[in-house]
Structure 1
């Protein structure tokens, strides 16, 4: 598998390996990790997600990188760029996203890995902007979005189309970041 590998001070963002599937399935079955998703994923659905992620790398040249802790090689989740699987109200876009094992929370890994993914997206892939969206109740992800310098406009709020009306997670918020704002933030 070819594709860019990204490194930070503490992390390696890389393409997926077969050995990642078991810890990823465990992560996706953890109710703490999936609290803001429709439901935990079965092993089959988790494996299918890995397959879709890898197909995204082949199609777009970027994707949701597997994240490992440098030195130990411990797989802790994913972070990266993806094209949403549904047509969002604002039109086609690229999303920055992350999903980490609960034991990896609180170490700054999501922000650190997302920073590397954004550098790649803006400087290598040439993206003009990215979005990130989540359930309104997902305070951990909202904090990462703010640390990345993303901006929120309540006018962008939407009801996630794959969730039924009345579902507690259906109300979503959207944060945005342009390449120009990212570069200004990185050099300022």
Structure 2
């Protein structure tokens, strides 16, 4: 498992101390509003702990996975960012998806873009991925803005198997990422 540092954030492997704050975040109906069909039961502590354990295994198996997002100035856990295989949407496979979830108190500070940008770079450059996707509920405009800021382009709209919610798939290739980085570099 890796650690990444950005200007304001530390992205590190999840640990036991992250479980309670992540469970609190996962229990917030507004945070979970666009997860699944919107009626997802909040993830309690046990389900959150299982997710942390799964994330640790994913790093061992795939060489990428979930990282906890920590605000460097305060040491506070803001949420997570992850690279994972989106098995929940078979029609776009093979693919690796980038996703994020932040507690509401950390919304609007640019942390999602900063964290996802660092992990996207890791996936495309260090892991050698050719393409990364991101999937959002079509009404989740906050996530769309993050995807736009990352240089991701709209790929397709489809529905989620099982619950039929409409989702938009955004994507970026390694070549597009390289060109985007050149145009946004200071």
Matches within 5 A, 1:143-154: 143-153=145-155
Could you say what secondary structure the match of 2:92 adopts?
Answer: coil
Structure 2 gap segments, 5+ residues each: none
Deviations 1:154-183 (A, max 9, x none): xx21111142x4xxxx11110010011101
Q: How far apart are the structure 2 equivalents of 1:137 and 1:87?
A: 18
Alignment match, 1:123: 125
Pick closer, same or farther for the CA change 1:113–1:147 going to 2, 3 Å.
same
Q: How far apart are the structure 1 equivalents of 2:145 and 2:47?
A: 28
Q: TM-score, normalised by structure 1?
A: 0.91
What's the Cα RMSD here?
1.2
Please state if 1:43 is matched with 2:45. yes
By how many angstroms is 1:87 displaced?
4.7
Deviations 1:44-67 (A, max 9, x none): 222221122111111111112100
* Pairing partner for 1:14 from 12, 15, 18: 12
Q: How far apart are the structure 2 equivalents of 1:76 and 1:126?
A: 28
By how many angstroms is 1:184 displaced?
1.0
Asked if the contact 2:89–2:160 (Cα under 8 Å) also holds between the matched residues in 1, the reply is: no
Paired residues, what number?
179
Q: How far apart are the structure 2 equivalents of 1:52 and 1:161?
A: 22
By how many angstroms is 1:118 displaced?
1.0
After the TM superposition, which segments of 4 or more aligned residues of structure 1 sit over 3 Å from their partners? none
Matches within 5 A, 1:93-104: 93-104=95-106
Alignment match, 1:112: 114
Asked if the contact 1:89–1:158 (Cα under 8 Å) also holds between the matched residues in 2, the reply is: no
Q: TM-score, normalised by structure 2?
A: 0.92
Deviations 1:95-138 (A, max 9, x none): 01000000000000000001100110111100001000011111
